[in-house]
């Protein structure tokens, strides 16, 4: 039974880790982990960038429409949001006033897309860290069996550095809209 569990854990680790042969040093494991994490971060950044680009396009279209309608408050709010996007290319943390429903709808869409990208990144990162930890544990055992105690200590220390998963409900809540 224990052998089956170890084989299953090993297979899951290899599936997450990749089909390449396992390296024999902690530095090689760390390099592989950083490369995979970089890919995950790149996908997250690309998804957020795409969402912000769509949001910017919606703002510019909305600005054109409300300018023609002569809605000064709307124009000022949208111009402020476009200016904020230049320095902080993320979805707004604070939604617009309830009277600006079209702006709130655009902001909500951007927040949802950004939240989905962050959630997917978090799940991918959790799986990567789990596989990395499992692989380091296996490496540590192989190194101890090969009487390479110092390298095994490095593997254990590296495994201790892996951030623990954040519990749900710990994220910062979005601000409530002002009426």
What confidence tens digit (pLDDT) does each residue in 37-96 have?
999 999 999 999 999 999 999 999 999 999 999 989 989 999 999 999 999 888 888 888
> DSSP labels for 139-167?
HHHHHHHTT-HHHHHHHHHHHHHSPPPPP
In angstroms and rounded to an integer, the radius of gyration of the C-alpha atoms of the chain is 23
* pLDDT class of 18 with cuts at 50, 70, 90: low
Per-residue confidence (pLDDT) for residue 55, from 0 to 100: 92
* C-alpha distances in Å from residue 138, one per residue of 6, 7, 16, 103, 128: 10, 11, 14, 52, 15
Per-residue confidence (pLDDT) for residue 8, from 0 to 100: 41
Per-residue confidence (pLDDT) for residue 64, from 0 to 100: 93
Residue 61 CA to residue 168 CA, distance in Å, equals 37
Average pLDDT over residues 28-41: 93
- For the packed helices 72-87 and 101-145, what is the interaxial angle rounded to 10 degrees? 20
């Amino acid at each position: 039974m224990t052998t089956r569990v170890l084989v299953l854990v090993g297979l899951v680790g290899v599936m997450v880790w990749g089909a390449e042969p396992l390296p024999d040093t902690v530095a090689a494991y760390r390099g592989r982990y950083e490369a995979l994490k970089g890919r995950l971060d790149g996908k997250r950044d690309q998804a957020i960038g795409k969402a912000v680009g769509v949001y910017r396009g919606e703002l510019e279209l909305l600005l054109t429409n409300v300018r023609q309608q002569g809605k000064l408050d709307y124009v000022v709010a949208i111009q402020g949001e476009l200016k904020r996007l230049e320095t902080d290319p993320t979805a707004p943390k604070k939604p617009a006033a309830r009277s600006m429903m079209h702006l709130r709808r655009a902001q909500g869409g951007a927040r949802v897309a950004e939240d989905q990208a962050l959630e997917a990144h978090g799940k991918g990162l959790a799986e990567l860290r789990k596989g990395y930890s499992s692989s380091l544990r296996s490496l540590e055992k192989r190194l101890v069996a090969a009487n390479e105690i110092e390298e095994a200590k490095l593997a254990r220390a590296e495994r201790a550095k892996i951030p623990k998963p954040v519990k749900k409900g710990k994220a910062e809540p979005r601000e409530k809209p002002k009426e």
